[in-house]
Amino acid sequence: MVGREDVRGAEVTVQSLSRIYPHPCRTVALQEITLTVRPGEWLAIVGPSGSGKTTLANILGLMDRPSSGRYWLDGRDVTALSDRERALVRNRLLGFVYQSFHLIPTLTARENVELPLVYRGVPRRRRRELAEAWLCRLGLEGRLHHRPFELSGGQQQRVALARALIGSPRLLLADEPTGNLDEENARDMRRLFSELRDQGQTIILITHDWALAQSADRIARLEAGRLVGDMAGRTGYAR
């Protein structure tokens, strides 16, 4: 991924974060999570199914609100922002990659990638240039006008990654990005995340993929909504 200027990664801090689902029966999905991710750090979150990983990612991605606790993004308290302000933060500061890609099926690869810039009011021509540049960097130069169903899973996930990165986010969130990919595509993803981290991107990655988790700077483990372990990844850094 050549040619990307250095990124100023965000600092993420959460304190005593809890999330209780009242329906269909009261479930404590997250309990008193306290966590700091330093600028430019790659944190992997692992844990068994149902431990609250996706719930945490959705709260960190400002897609959901915690039941209690505080959340600071780059020192700014984003816990109590209005819906409108949260949309703005998602648009300007966050990039999100999901296990099931979440591409819009009626849009082409390039149009999907452009989407964050549409809501930023960037002129069409500039958007196209950026989207094409990102798709090319991710090896999809021949797939600009394909629709998602005309792409393989690995290609779809790279389109989704391009969409997450086109707005130069300060924090990249990924929820099982390799969950639907084969070994080879998963390895590509791993390489891409390493490059992003090397450029200074703050990354929070949720995964079952142990090899992927090990590439991170740090691995946190969730169990039944609690943070039970926080250890160094391959780079050897730990708190």
Partner 1 sequence: MRVDDILVEAARPLWRHKLRSLLSVLSIVMGVASVIALMTLMQAASQGVGRRLDALGANLVAVTVNPLAASTGGTPTLTLPQALSLAKIPGVAGVAPAAYAAIPAERAGREAPVTVYATWPTFTRIMGYHVAIGRNLSMRDESASAALVVLGSAAAQALFPHDGHPIGRTVVIGGEPYRVTGVLAPKGSLFGVNEDAVAILPLTTYQRAADNGSVTSVYVQAQNPARIRPLMRELADKLGQWLGPQNQYTVVAQSLVLGVVHRISRLLTDILAGVASISIVVGGLGILNVHLMAVAERIREIGVRKSVGARRCDILVQFLAEAVLIAGIGGVIGTGLGVALSQAIGQRLGLSVVVNLRIVEDALVISLLLGVAVGLYPALRAAALAPVEALTFDR
The binding site for Mg ion (CB under 5 A) comprises 54
What is the smallest separation between the CB atom of 34 and ligand ATP, expressed in angstroms?
Answer: 18
Q: Whose Cβ is closer to Mg ion: residue 39's or residue 179's? A: 179
- Residue 82 contacts which entry, ligand ATP, Mg ion, partner 1, none (Cβ below 5-8 A, type-dependent): none
CA distances (Å), 171 to each of 117, 154, 205, in order? 17, 22, 11
Q: Whose Cβ is closer to partner 1: residue 115's or residue 151's? A: 115
What is the smallest separation between the CB atom of 10 and Mg ion, expressed in angstroms?
Answer: 22
Q: What is the footprint of ligand ATP within residues 73-132 (CB under 6 A)?
A: none
User: Residue 84 contacts by C-beta under 8 Å, 6 or more apart in sequence?
Assistant: none
Q: Whose Cβ is closer to partner 1: residue 72's or residue 119's? A: 119
Cα separation, 153 vs 162, whole angstroms: 14
| Exposed / middle / buried, residue 27 (Cβ in 10 Å: 0-12, 13-18, 19+) | middle
Instruction: Identify whether the C-beta of residue 146 lies closer than 8 Å to the C-beta of residue 177.
Output: no
- Residue 233 contacts which entry, partner 1, ligand ATP, Mg ion, none (Cβ below 5-8 A, type-dependent): none
Binding ligand ATP (rule: CB under 6 A), the pick from 40, 44, 46, 51 is 51
Q: Whose Cβ is closer to ligand ATP: residue 53's or residue 127's? A: 53
Cα separation, 45 vs 207, whole angstroms: 6
User: Residue 1 contacts by C-beta under 8 Å, 6 or more apart in sequence?
Assistant: 137, 138, 192, 195, 196, 199
- Residue 163 contacts which entry, partner 1, ligand ATP, Mg ion, none (Cβ below 5-8 A, type-dependent): partner 1
